[in-house]
């Protein structure tokens, strides 16, 4: 066909059902397991709050969007196990960059991130989520506020990043549960296929560089792998 061959190439695309776009508000592209969305404050299985008001999340937050004040637990009606609890907990979503550092910093896995990031406000005050809005309900599910666009599956698998990584980042703890049970979910399983993923992301040549380098490479390259894995996972989850 020579010069005109290109016209056939484009013509063949007509009428194909395959689409590279999704009709966004109606349907959403699948989100990776480790998507960082709106935070939730978790509770233990007995209904106690996990937050102990230590303010580590507020301290680590690079955007300075978290405000926490702890208070002593009332002896007759304790809010959390232990001495103190989060008395005030506020996150300003006009500042939050969803970096997940608060989740990493939290010693009790009290704060994790769901996969829902589609929410909007009409004034600045509404952008500040308080403890009442962030804490999970009595079934352990994140509260679905009217201006948030929750889809099935987005409230599952929160804190996926936490479950994918061993405490303190040491590889020896891979696949070992180092976290407490949650209301509504029980003891969450470690992220699946950790070893398999490591094998793939490490590449064909066994790396001879140091331990730290390896961890960094793992973190960066993981994203590509995530997609394949998440498709399977997502369908199973739904």
Strand (E) or helix (H) holding 128: strand 128-129
**Least distance (Å) between residue 13 CB and another protein:** 5
2 binds another protein (CB under 8 A): no
User: In the range 15-54, which residues lie near another protein by CB under 8 A?
Assistant: 15-16, 18-21, 23
**Nearest-approach distance from CB 12 to another protein, in angstroms:** 10
Nearer of residues 11 and 125 to another protein, judged by Cβ = 11
Total chain residues near another protein (CB under 8 A): 14
Considering the rule CB under 8 A, would residue 6 count as an interface residue with another protein? yes
Neighbours of 90 (CB within 10 A): 16
The verdict on 122 binding another protein (CB under 8 A) reads no
| Dist CA 12 CA 14 (whole Å) | 5
Which residue's CB is nearer to another protein, number 12 or number 211? Answer: 12
Q: How far apart are CA 141 and CA 137, in angstroms?
A: 6
Q: Which residues pair with 58 in a beta bridge?
A: none
Q: Which is nearer to another protein, 13 or 168 (by Cβ)?
A: 13
Told to check if 10 binds another protein by CB under 8 A, we report: yes
Backbone dihedral angles phi then psi of residue 171, each to the nearest 5 degrees? -65, -20
Residue 80: closest CA among 119, 107, 104, 105: 107
9: contact with another protein by CB under 8 A:
yes
Question: Cβ of residue 17: shortest distance to another protein, in angstroms?
Answer: 9
CB of 14 or CB of 132, closer to another protein: 14
Q: Can you tell me the distance from the alpha carbon of 14 to that of 112, in angstroms, rounded to the nearest whole number?
A: 45
Please identify, among the stretches 9-17, 36-44, 106-114, 192-200, the one whose residues bind another protein according to the rule CB under 8 A. Answer: 9-17
> If you write DSSP's letter for every residue of 39-95 in order, what string do you get?
EEE-B-TTS-B------HHHHH-TT--EEEEEEEPPSSS-SSSSSEEEEEEEEETTT
Minimum separation from the CB atom of position 149 to another protein (A): 17
- Give how far the C-alpha of residue 15 lies from the chain's centroid of Cα atoms, to the nearest Å: 38
Smaller CB separation from another protein, 20 or 77: 20
Q: DSSP 3-state assignment of 169? A: helix
* Contact set with another protein (CB under 8 A): 6-7, 9-11, 13-16, 18-21, 23
């Amino acid at each position: 066909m020579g010069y005109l061959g290109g016209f056939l190439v484009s013509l063949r695309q007509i009428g194909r059902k395959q689409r590279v776009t999704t009709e966004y508000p109606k349907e959403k592209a699948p989100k990776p397991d480790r998507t960082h969305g709106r935070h939730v404050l978790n509770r233990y299985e007995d209904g106690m709050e996990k937050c102990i008001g230590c303010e580590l999340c507020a301290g680590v937050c690079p955007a300075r969007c978290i405000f926490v004040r702890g208070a002593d637990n009332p002896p007759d009606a304790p809010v959390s196990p232990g001495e103190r609890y989060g008395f005030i907990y506020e996150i300003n979503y006009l500042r939050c960059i969803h970096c997940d550092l608060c989740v990493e910093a939290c010693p009790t896995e009290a704060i994790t991130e769901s996969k829902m990031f589609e929410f909007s406000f009409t004034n600045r005050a509404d952008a500040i989520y308080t403890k009442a809005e962030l804490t999970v309900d009595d079934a352990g599910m994140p509260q679905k506020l009217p201006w948030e666009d929750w889809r099935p599956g987005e409230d599952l698998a929160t804190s996926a990043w936490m479950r994918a990584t061993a405490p303190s980042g040491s590889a020896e703890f891979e696949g070992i549960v180092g976290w407490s049970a949650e209301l509504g979910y029980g003891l969450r399983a470690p992220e699946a296929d950790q070893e398999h993923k490591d094998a793939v992301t490490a590449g064909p040549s066994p790396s001879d560089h140091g331990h730290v380098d390896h961890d960094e490479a793992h973190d960066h390259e993981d994203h590509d792998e995530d997609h394949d894995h998440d498709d399977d996972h997502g369908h199973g989850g739904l």
